[in-house]
Structure 1
Amino acid sequence: MPNGKKISRNVFFLGLTSFFNDWSSEMIFPILPAFMAEILGIPKSLIGIIDGVSESLASILKVFSGYLSDRLGKRKNLAVFGYSLSTILKPLLAFAQSWLAVFSVRVGDRIGKGIRTAPRDALIAASVDSKKRGRSFGFHRAMDTLGALFGTLTTFILMKYILGPQSHRTIFALSIIPAVVGVMFIIFGAKETKTVTPGEKPKLSWKTLPKNLRILVVATFIFGIGNYTFTFFLLRIRTMGIAMAIVPLVYLLYNVVYSAVSYPAGILSDKIGKRTVYAIGLGMYILTALGMAFFNSPTWAWILMASYGLHMRFTTATARALVSDFAPEEIRGTALGIYHTGIGIADLPAGLLAGFLWQLYSPKVVFSVGAILATVSLLIILTIKEK
């Protein structure tokens, strides 16, 4: 275990892996919605299905990969395989000519994420004591988001000054470079931390989870239905008057805010309580969603994307730390897998809901419904008593 305020070796190298992996992913993500909608001509409803189905199918693997890591007592190899799979598949978007090609790559990439997420988070949790989990997950998310910042800035520079506004495919291909670097860091830097003794067989069962953890999973599932994939936020700021070439810059602001507050917010959650910080984050989402629903100027697009960055930091890493605190060590990988799977499964109805509400009504209806679902989740979270 690390002492004092030091970040453990595993947390540091896993942070570097996430930094480079997100550098790769966020070279792609800010321009992917426009690539689908404006270049391939994919309808918004079908974009919602692509996002929802790919996230949900992949998320089913999270509970099984977490469970498998508990059974084996090992986390690193599964995480390495998941990162490697995504690294190979993401650049193939450069060759996509149809919605089916985009869907296939997205599913494969998300499967890689599904395999690696729970074992990686369990490895982070096992590398520190409970009093430092908030800051450790905060550091990891800060590195993750800092990589996203670099990726977004890379795409902006390439598209604006070097390759031109129609250079989507070249950027997709170049994204393999930082991804490979990230895989090298986890292979040669992270160390296995065995947490389950031979012969132990953790049960894959909802009933094995503590009550607080079950409440948390239910609340995050409900919130997940209204917390639409980022694709719809990027599509929304386009309708608020943000030019295509400027979208990566607005997304860059989101990542700057997210990265800047990640580690301090993690420390705050260790001091005042993770449930409290998570509830604050849900409140931020409610305000952001209402802003997305009722404001339409480019100025508000910038403000709301910054607000969304604050929300994401106060909820994402904090929830993982909460799950790790609530779950006994011998089922922690399984518990994290169930948590991530719940969120991922919610992505399917979320994508379908957002896509069809947008197609049939308007963005105002889409984000108003999101605010309502987040409010329900917040009320449930407030019933949890954190030890």
Structure 2
Amino acid sequence: MYLSTARATDDAQGVERDRMRDSAAVRGVPANVFALGAVSLLTDVSAEMVTAVLPIYVVVQLGLSPLAFGLLDGVYGGVTALVRLVGGHAADRGRRHKLVAGLGYGLSAAAKPVLLLASTVPAIAAVLAVDRTGKGLRTAPRDALISLSARPGDQGRAFGVHRTMDTAGALLGPLVAFGLLWAAADAYDAVFVVSGCIAVAGVLVLVLFVHRPPPDDGSAGEARTSGRMPERTSMRTPGRTSMRAAFGLLRISAMRRICGCAALLGLVTISDAFVFLLIQKKLDLAPQWFPLLPLGTAAGFLALAMPLGLLADRVGRWPVFVGGHAALLGAYVLLLSPAGGTGMIVGVLVLHGVFYAATDGVLMAAAGPHLPAGLRASGLALVQTGQATTRFVSSLAFGAAWTMWGMTPAITIAAAALTASAVVALVLRPGAGSDAGPGSDAAAGPVFAEESSV
């Protein structure tokens, strides 16, 4: 009698926990995703303050060539490739996603004020490497927390909400940097100090409000709403979490294609900093206006991240992802055109924002359904590592092409290569799980098998 009563009480408490957890979600987006969005918002305010002033500081203030800046920009974007797999692997061992993400956020927060002491290129490169190491550690665990907190059919929606909040920070960061520089000319020290303080606030939000998802989040939640349980065989996770098991995910045909296409398209993507420098050089903008250029990209990203995330869940994630690169190609064409003035600036920056809204979170949403929960961070890190590595090469190559041949030939080569790469990505379309939407078979749970359907 006592045991049956206890079991009934436990069952009632379990139902109540599920009800409370579901009520915390806003139209399929759990509270955990909003908390992670707040962390990213604060962190992006901090990061974009530095990003907004760094190109003009290095090229105009220190007088570096485009090739030298390409090296720094490659370090800024490429160092993360060296540690993303480490961060993903460490997070998957014992489900320590929050701990590893917190270490990454803390490392980046500590690096920001140290820029005050860096006055040479090697010193700046070293500080940027530390900052980007923090980003590399945190990105895969953070995205795994988002993916594990949301139902499979709501992956695009969840990442859309997160990227919207993240981009709100990217929109505010340049404004804060611009305000500081406007109040005091060349106040780069103030930018770096305020950036560090805001980053610390982001770490505190992570510690206080982000929680570890329950083991049954995602697949079980989907089963509750759909009225059926996912296949046991499709949910199997390897017994040990290891680097070998992580790389073993590449046995999945769709994962190979996603990783390969992400890496290929990363190789032909001109970095944000170079896009802004191209606008500044083409129109000869005054340095004090430079920090405002990222606002256009951030505004487009902010306005479209959620709608395009929902669209990806509805019509397919891969078409939306490749379509984002078509928007990037449009930005390249505008940079090559004789058009100038405000119209050209707005056009390039809006298309740049559309590119990020259609690719950043959508790529993670496309990969997530193919990965078992126990290796979710490691699998997402594989995709991110390939993309970050080729973007590092892209920065070096574009900086070298600009230095040797000039601005216009460099953009022309990038545009032609992007067109060819987008066609390849369409031909190598991954399996159905990348296009999973509500009610689809792929949305029932992650797939872990030697080969998935293509």
Same fold (TM over 0.5): yes
| Amino acid in the other structure paired with 2:149 | S
Q: Note the 1:114-263 alignment, pairs <5 A.
A: 114-160=136-182, 162-164=183-185, 166-193=186-213, 195=215, 200-202=240-242, 203-206=245-248, 208-241=250-283, 242-263=285-306
Which structure carries more relative contact order (alpha carbon 8 Å, separation 6+)? 1
Give the distance between the partners of 1:281 and 1:84, measured in 2 at CA. Answer: 32
Give the distance between the partners of 1:142 and 1:296, measured in 2 at CA. Answer: 31
Q: How many residues align?
A: 385
TM-superposed deviation, 1:167: 1.4
Counterpart secondary structure, 1:97: coil
TM-superposed deviation, 1:292: 1.8
> 1:245-302, CA deviations, whole angstroms, 9 ceiling, x for partnerless residues?
2222232122111111111111111111111111210111111122223345232122
Give the distance between the partners of 2:353 and 2:314, measured in 1 at CA. Answer: 21
Which residue is equivalent to 2:93?
71
The range that moved more, 52-61 or 279-288, is 52-61
Counterpart secondary structure, 1:41: coil
Give the distance between the partners of 2:391 and 2:323, measured in 1 at CA. Answer: 22
TM-superposed deviation, 1:191: 0.5
> 1:329-351, CA deviations, whole angstroms, 9 ceiling, x for partnerless residues?
23221110111111111122111
Give the distance between the partners of 1:79 and 1:207, measured in 2 at CA. Answer: 22
The range that moved more, 288-297 or 247-256, is 288-297
| Amino acid in the other structure paired with 1:212 | A
Give the distance between the partners of 2:154 and 2:269, measured in 1 at CA. Answer: 28
TM-superposed deviation, 1:142: 0.8
Which residue is equivalent to 1:380?
424
Identify if the C-alpha distance between structure 1 residues 169 and 262 changes in structure 2 by more than 3 Å, giving closer, same or farther: same
The answer to whether the Cα contact below 8 Å between 1:281 and 1:314 also exists between their aligned partners in 2 is: yes
Unaligned runs of 5+ in 2: 1-20, 216-235, 434-454
The range that moved more, 80-89 or 135-144, is 135-144
The answer to whether the Cα contact below 8 Å between 1:284 and 1:310 also exists between their aligned partners in 2 is: yes
TM-superposed deviation, 1:194: 5.9
The answer to whether the Cα contact below 8 Å between 1:86 and 1:113 also exists between their aligned partners in 2 is: yes
Counterpart secondary structure, 1:205: helix
Which residue is equivalent to 1:278?
321
> 1:61-89, CA deviations, whole angstroms, 9 ceiling, x for partnerless residues?
10121122222222100000000000000
| Amino acid in the other structure paired with 1:374 | L
CA RMSD, 1 decimal: 1.9
Q: Note the 1:18-57 alignment, pairs <5 A.
A: 18-57=40-79
- 1:291 matched to 2:313: no
> 1:86-138, CA deviations, whole angstroms, 9 ceiling, x for partnerless residues?
00002221222111111011100000000000011011100011111101111
Give the distance between the partners of 2:43 and 2:293, measured in 1 at CA. Answer: 21
Counterpart secondary structure, 2:79: helix
The answer to whether the Cα contact below 8 Å between 1:134 and 1:318 also exists between their aligned partners in 2 is: yes
> 1:214-236, CA deviations, whole angstroms, 9 ceiling, x for partnerless residues?
11111111111111221111211
The answer to whether the Cα contact below 8 Å between 2:89 and 2:241 also exists between their aligned partners in 1 is: no
Give the distance between the partners of 1:243 and 1:6, measured in 2 at CA. Answer: 46
TM-superposed deviation, 1:213: 1.6
TM-superposed deviation, 1:153: 1.0
> 1:118-166, CA deviations, whole angstroms, 9 ceiling, x for partnerless residues?
0110111000111111011111111111001111111122222x122x1
Unaligned runs of 5+ in 1: none
> 1:157-178, CA deviations, whole angstroms, 9 ceiling, x for partnerless residues?
2222x122x1122211221121
Give the distance between the partners of 1:235 and 1:24, measured in 2 at CA. Answer: 21
| Amino acid in the other structure paired with 2:432 | E
Q: Percent identity?
A: 28
Which residue is equivalent to 2:311?
268
